[in-house]
Amino acid sequence: MRVLIADDEKAIRESIAEYLALDAVEVETSENGLSALRMLTEELFDVLVLDLKMPGAGGIEVLKQLKSENIQLPVIIISAFGDVSDAVEAMKLGAEDYLVKPFAAEELRLKIMKAGETRKLRQEIQRLRKVNDGGVNFESASSSVKKIISLAKKAAPTLSNVLITGESGTGKEVLAKFLHRNSDRAGSPFVAVNIGSVPGTLLESELFGYEKGAFTGADRMKTGLFEAAAGGTLFLDEIGDMPPALQVKLLRAIQDRAVQRLGSVRQIKLDVRIIAATNRPLEDNVKSGEFREDLYYRLNVVRLHLPPLRERREDIPMLCGTIINTMNRKMGRGIKGISSEAMEVLKAYNFPGNIRELENLIERAFILADGEELALKDFALPGRPSARRTRTGTLREIEREAIAESLARWEGRRIKAAEELGIDR
């Protein structure tokens, strides 16, 4: 457990630190509120012991700043007898407990231990909620994928970085979430970023954040994705698209377990697990010099390769069931399944777009379906004539078909489909 003690009285800081050291508690101290805030933004602590009256910034100011920056940790207030009204305000601002000076060191130790245990319990409750309520279920009927799941379950509780490889649309982000939800970090953030979708000029500030005035237009401080993922997992999708200059900075962040915002010289210590994914042959990119070899080995501690859907056709019925359940909730429908004829055609199709293409096909079929079952006529597989190709039927049916075909062309992107059709999304 790491505890920060913020008090302007040196004797109090030292006596508390010495007493807690007997329990092997790691203690850092601060003599005022401003330095305490700086330390809380640079390092991770489990409990903060905070004096109400300090020069520069007192306990109330510190609590308000913590709240505004969404820094969450248990705070124990220590105050003089005359500070009771301030102590009450501190409790309203989120302080966990308070003690009136003078107090016994053992009394404070017990409150610190209780606060630490309460924090662990809250994190565990949050983790269980995520696992049991909207958590990620990664299952397969394929023997090759079952081996991947088994390895993922072994890797999940560790601190090791993971590299997930596979074609686009094979479910790499779902597997990354599975790793996160089955780890001790499940109660902490899972932050995902697609490296290829962020312009190179913006990627550095997105990942590492920046200080106010770091560049033109930086009128306020911004935390990066590394800081947003503190205590949890940062998923770097399409890592092979990362520019060489940023690869150096990412390597340093992984090695030092710290980041430096743009425009700052301060190192911010972070506990973040990295899961990276790529659809590129990174080994070839290393040989060609496009990707740093040292970074590759840092990321490739545990490697999980997801095969394409055409190599795991036995998973198609199960995936269809999962997607249908999701679509029913999203669209308020009651589709019960897919006809046997349509299922046989789907199982024979090669799915170059993998699971993502299957999702788009089922979403289109949902729009066109008339009954409680998705029929073959509701699917438009490339290279196979559609039973709905001719523009006949009611105006509503024609509109539904046009929307479905536009969604298929734009791979499910509703905004693009709406723009193409000139309608509201």
Same domain as 165, residue 104: no
CB 49 within 8 A of CB 6: yes
Q: Residue 128 is encoded by which pair of tokens?
A: 């269980």
Band of residue 124 on the pLDDT scale cut at 50, 70, 90: low
Tell me, what's the pLDDT at 343?
Answer: 95
Tell me, what's the pLDDT at 134?
Answer: 46
| pTM of the complete model | 0.65
Same domain as 20, residue 106: yes
Tell me, what's the pLDDT at 399?
Answer: 67
Residue 133 located in a structural domain: no
DSSP 24: T
Band of residue 128 on the pLDDT scale cut at 50, 70, 90: low
Same domain as 23, residue 53: yes
**SS3 assignment, position 156:** coil
**SS3 assignment, position 261:** coil
CATH label of the domain that carries residue 397: 1.10.8.60
Same domain as 147, residue 80: no
Furthest C-alpha separation in the chain: 87
Q: Which residues contact 105 (CB under 8 A, 6 or more apart)?
A: 15, 16, 19
Cα-flanking dihedrals φ and ψ of residue 67, to 5°? -65, -40
Same domain as 260, residue 320: no
Rg (CA), the chain: 27
CATH label of the domain that carries residue 10: 3.40.50.2300
Same domain as 110, residue 20: yes
Same domain as 106, residue 158: no
Same domain as 65, residue 34: yes
Same domain as 380, residue 292: no
Residue 392 clears pLDDT 60, i.e. is over it:
no
Same domain as 145, residue 274: yes
Domain with 84 in it = 2-128
Task: Pick 249 or 414 by higher pLDDT.
Answer: 249
Amino acid 160 reads: S
**Cα separation values, 308 from 142, 265, 351, 359, Å:** 11, 45, 8, 14
Highest mean pLDDT among 15-29, 57-71, 156-170: 156-170
Please give the average per-residue pLDDT across 309-338, as a whole number. Answer: 93
**SS3 assignment, position 140:** coil
Residue 389 clears pLDDT 60, i.e. is over it:
no
Same domain as 342, residue 253: no
CATH label of the domain that carries residue 243: 3.40.50.300
Strand duo 75-79 + 97-100: pairing: parallel
Count the neighbouring beta carbons within 10 Å of the beta carbon of residue 50: 27
- pLDDT, one tens digit per residue, over 219-262 is 888 889 999 999 999 999 999 999 999 999 999 999 999 999 99
Residue 149 located in a structural domain: yes
Among 128, 153, 178, residue at a domain's last position = 128
Band of residue 420 on the pLDDT scale cut at 50, 70, 90: low
Domain count, the chain: 3
Residue 184 located in a structural domain: yes
Q: In what helix (H) or strand (E) does residue 13 lie, and over which residues does it extend?
A: helix 10-21
Same domain as 166, residue 111: no
- pLDDT, one tens digit per residue, over 147-175 is 999 999 999 999 899 999 999 999 999 99
